[in-house]
């Protein structure tokens, strides 16, 4: 499993954070401080604060987490950022719009003042603990549909009476009442924005409606406000679908589990109260409530909710099972290995929620564009309203009306809302395939991959090689040679060592005690058995000990040309035994490499195995280039070289891959199911050992970017068209509202298409 110290989840690892920041520096050069990469290193490592009314609101070097009930889109984010920007003690602000979470990183800040500031702009802050993020919170917006319906009827009545030349006073009364029923919320938000010198869409709409009232366009003012409020409500409901795509993952685990009691009886209890080590029983057809290991019975488990695998997986005693998966056949018992809040599924949910706060490059561009665009358009609308009448004898009514129409169509809502919805939909869709993406930047960058470097053992191959050949070369007996080698091998977790140890176990050999055992990076292992120092390693180790020879090298080459890896037992008087080990290629690897080639990606294999073995495996799989005999620093060097030519990804599953994974633009961790480190540190974690998920990831990245381009282009095109129609005098305010709202709904719906599996 990939163990990447450069991407540690600990806040204390400042040097590792610095290394990781270097990797993505080009992605953040224009980013606000809150979006620096250290967020993803520290999100889960810092302690949050939960304030009660009686708590002293002062803390140091920590964070306060709030659920912001009225934060729906970047409009509110900008308002909050402006309100809190200059408050003393605040170090950073981190936003998760989809989950309505605001994390305030601070140092000795006055938390009461922070909450008061948030309340002053009607954000409805609720202080929470990090653990509360797991709660199944109801985000459904409170929409007063009946009141909105009444406002709509009154606005329509005002339009009809005005059309049939009815009494002006009645038209006015109906319009004003419709605005009061349907638009007070917008006016309130607009006033708060203006007080804080923030020109958001609520402020623009408030200006437009007020201006229409002042120039006597009462029915149109009412209809514009009602349509805008209705659109806001529909848009909020549409946003909920993307938001709930993450929240609904929580429903995959049952609320209760059948747990064995001390007296041997079985009782259904809340999963939150089940402790590690408890014995749980699962019946056919039930969802598994907690992570654990099977202790009795066997069954087939549908792991699709976690890994995306289409076929059920056989499970028997000793096998790991995961919360949220489905028991399809037999009944079995398992021992709980993780609390409900620390299950693999819970960690996936936390990772995806955290990823939503890491903005993609397109999203950052759109946010910056909207920040400049809105005030410019407001000034243009103001100029249109007053300059022609003042300087060119234009009719005041006509030009003021055109300015108001321009204000309505200028609202950047469709533009800014399309990117987060699309990105979150892509992140949620990836989890259905068993792909965990740690941020929007990686989802968007995947389409740019030009090179993909892959580790061999456990990535391309199964990583479970078997001993195929053994030769005794020294004065020791063949049996003693095998026993000593297996004794050293049993202390190592390297796949080659495991193969030698397994062969000894199958032969029922009794192993010896090893003292002063140590791993020699890139060469093998060493240890003391009895009073003698022994070494078990590759030819590089043999040469370093001064026992290399042309005859031995030729013998090794013969095995390597067959795709086998050779290690030797070395004593004080030379090489005593030669062991050949062979691994098998995953069938899925061949298919994955073929798919990657169709996507135009150059593949290369980086392995510590000899070059002959690397060439044989590369040829079997179809990899473009194979580099063998590599130490971890050599893998890092290759990835560094490739990064100068284009976007490079690195796929690995071991600690020796960590430097290269950190250097790559996108690091892929293989087989992340059940492993804390991979889920917490990888840029992209593949929840099983299937390399075909990488082409899926790249295809999803391309689809996401295509939808982003479609949404942005469509939103801008509609605005440009209506700007032209406005100058030509061929639009009305309610037409502008329909255009703006319709565009917003269409881009949201387009972004949600990614949720289709």
Which residues lie closer than 8 Å to 428 by C-beta, 6 or more apart?
242, 245, 246, 352, 754, 755
585-609 burial code (b ≥16 CB/10 A, e <16)? bbeebbbbbebbeeeebbbbbbbbb
In the block, tokens 């397109």 appear at: 362
Alpha carbons within 13 A on the beta-carbon side of 621:
34
Say how far apart CA 197 and CA 565 lie, in whole Å: 69
Beta bridge pairs of residue 326: 287, 302
* Long-range contacts of 707-710, Cβ-Cβ distance < 8 Å, separation of 24 or more: 707/422, 707/750, 707/751, 707/753, 707/754, 708/360, 708/362, 708/418, 708/419, 708/422, 708/423, 708/444, 710/750
Nearest to 684 by CA among 694, 692, 676, 674: 694
Beta bridge pairs of residue 292: 321, 336
Q: What angle do CA 378, 380, 382 make, to 5 degrees?
A: 70
Q: Which helix (H) or strand (E) holds 189?
A: helix 168-195
Phi-psi region of 77 (alpha: psi -120 to 50; beta: other; left: phi over 0): alpha
Which residues lie closer than 8 Å to 276 by C-beta, 6 or more apart?
336, 337, 338, 339
For residue 417 the two structure tokens come to: 């809302």
Catalytic-role residue among 72, 291, 455, 689: 455
Say how far apart CA 452 and CA 442 lie, in whole Å: 14
Phi-psi region of 513 (alpha: psi -120 to 50; beta: other; left: phi over 0): beta
CB 610 within 8 A of CB 582: no
Residue 440 — φ and ψ, nearest 5°? Answer: -60, -30
Q: What is the DSSP string of 244-300?
A: HHHHGGGGGS-SEEEEE-TTS-EEEEEGGGPPTT-EEEE-TTPBP-S-EEEEEE-EE
Alpha carbons within 13 A on the beta-carbon side of 15:
1
295-307 burial code (b ≥16 CB/10 A, e <16)? eebebbbbbbbbb
Residue 647: other Cβ atoms inside 10 A: 18
Say how far apart CA 651 and CA 4 lie, in whole Å: 12
For residue 384 the two structure tokens come to: 């249109």
Sheet with strand 326-327: strands edge to edge: 313-315, 299-302, 326-327
Dihedral over alpha carbons 237, 243, 248, 250 (to 10 degrees): -140
Hey, CA dihedral for 178, 184, 189, 191, is it positive or negative? positive
Burial label for 214, CB within 10 Å (0-12, 13-18, 19+), is exposed
For residue 311 the two structure tokens come to: 């076929």
Q: What is the DSSP string of 193-244?
A: HHHTT---HHHHHHHHHHHHHHTT-HHHHHHHHHHHHHHHHHHHHHHHHHHH
> Is 319 annotated as catalytic?
no
Residue 312: other Cβ atoms inside 10 A: 17
Active site residues: 455
């Amino acid at each position: 499993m990939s163990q990447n110290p450069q991407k540690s989840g600990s806040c204390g690892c400042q040097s590792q954070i610095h290394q990781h920041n270097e990797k993505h520096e080009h992605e953040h050069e224009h980013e606000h401080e809150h979006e620096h990469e250290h967020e993803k290193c520290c999100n889960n490592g810092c302690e949050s604060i939960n304030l009660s009314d009686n708590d002293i609101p002062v803390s140091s070097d920590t964070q306060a987490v709030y659920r912001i009930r009225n934060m729906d889109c970047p409009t509110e984010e900008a308002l909050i950022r402006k309100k809190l920007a200059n408050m003393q003690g605040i170090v950073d602000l981190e936003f998760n719009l989809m989950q309505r979470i605001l994390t305030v990183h601070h140092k000795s800040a006055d938390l009461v003042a922070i909450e008061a500031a948030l309340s002053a702009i009607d954000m409805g802050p609720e202080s929470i603990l990090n653990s509360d993020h797991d709660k199944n919170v109801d985000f459904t917006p409170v929409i007063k549909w009946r009141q909105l319906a009444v406002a709509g009827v009154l606005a329509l009545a005002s339009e009809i009476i005005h059309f049939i030349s009815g009494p002006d006073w009645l038209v006015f009364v109906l319009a004003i009442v419709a605005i009061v029923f349907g638009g007070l919320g917008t006016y309130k938000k607009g006033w708060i924005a203006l007080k804080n010198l923030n020109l958001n869409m609520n402020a623009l709409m408030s200006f437009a409606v007020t201006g229409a009232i002042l120039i006597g366009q009462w029915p149109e003012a009412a209809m514009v406000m009602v349509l805008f409020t209705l659109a806001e409500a529909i848009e909020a409901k549409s946003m909920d679908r993307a938001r709930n795509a993450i929240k609904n993952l929580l429903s995959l685990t049952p609320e209760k589990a059948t747990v064995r009691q001390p007296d041997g009886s079985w009782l259904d209890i809340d999963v939150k109260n089940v402790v590690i080590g408890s014995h749980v029983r699962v019946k056919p057809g039930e969802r598994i409530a907690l992570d654990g290991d099977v202790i009795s019975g066997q069954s087939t488990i549908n792991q699709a909710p976690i890994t995306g695998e289409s076929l059920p997986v056989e499970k028997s005693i000793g096998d790991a099972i995961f919360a949220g998966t489905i028991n399809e056949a037999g009944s079995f018992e398992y021992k709980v290995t993780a609390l409900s809040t620390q299950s693999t599924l819970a960690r996936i949910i936390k990772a995806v929620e955290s990823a939503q706060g890491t903005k993609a490059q397109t999203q950052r561009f759109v946010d910056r564009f909207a920040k400049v665009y809105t005030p410019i358009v407001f000034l243009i609308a103001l100029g249109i309203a007053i300059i022609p009448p003042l300087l060119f004898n234009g009719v005041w009514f006509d030009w003021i009306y055109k300015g108001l129409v321009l204000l309505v169509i200028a609202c950047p809502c469709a533009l800014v809302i399309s990117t987060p919805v699309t990105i979150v939909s892509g992140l949620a869709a990836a989890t259905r395939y068993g792909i965990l993406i740690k941020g929007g930047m990686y989802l968007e960058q995947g389409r740019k991959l030009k090179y993909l470097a892959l580790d061999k053992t456990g990535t391309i191959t199964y990583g479970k090689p078997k001993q195929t050949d053994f030769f005794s070369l020294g004065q020791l007996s063949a049996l003693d040679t095998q026993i000593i080698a297996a004794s050293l091998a049993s202390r190592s977790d390297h796949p080659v060592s495991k193969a030698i140890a397994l062969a000894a176990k199958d032969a029922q050999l009794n192993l010896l005690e090893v003292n002063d055992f140590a791993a020699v990076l890139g060469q093998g292992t060493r240890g003391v058995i009895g009073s003698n120092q022994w070494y078990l390693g590759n030819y590089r180790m043999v040469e370093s000990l001064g026992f290399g020879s042309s005859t031995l090298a030729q013998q090794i080459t013969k095995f390597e040309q067959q795709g086998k890896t050779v290690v030797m037992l070395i004593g004080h008087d030379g090489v005593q035994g030669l062991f050949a080990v062979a691994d098998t290629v995953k069938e899925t690897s061949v298919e994955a490499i073929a798919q990657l080639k169709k996507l135009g990606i150059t593949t290369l294999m980086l392995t510590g195995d000899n070059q002959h073995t690397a060439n044989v495996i590369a040829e079997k799989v179809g990899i473009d280039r194979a580099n063998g005999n590599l130490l971890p620093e050599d893998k890092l060097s290759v990835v560094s070289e490739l990064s100068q030519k284009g976007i490079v990804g690195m796929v690995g599953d071991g600690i020796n891959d960590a430097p290269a994974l950190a250097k790559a633009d996108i690091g892929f961790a293989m087989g992340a199911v059940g492993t804390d480190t991979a889920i917490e540190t990888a840029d992209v974690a593949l929840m099983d050992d299937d390399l075909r998920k990488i082409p899926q990831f790249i295809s999803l990245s391309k689809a996401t970017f295509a939808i982003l381009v479609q949404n942005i282009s469509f939103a801008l095109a509609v605005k440009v068209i209506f700007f032209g129609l406005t100058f030509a005098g061929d639009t009305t305010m309610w037409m502008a509202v329909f255009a703006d709202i319709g565009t917003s709904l269409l881009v949201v719906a387009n972004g949600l298409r990614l949720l289709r599996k």
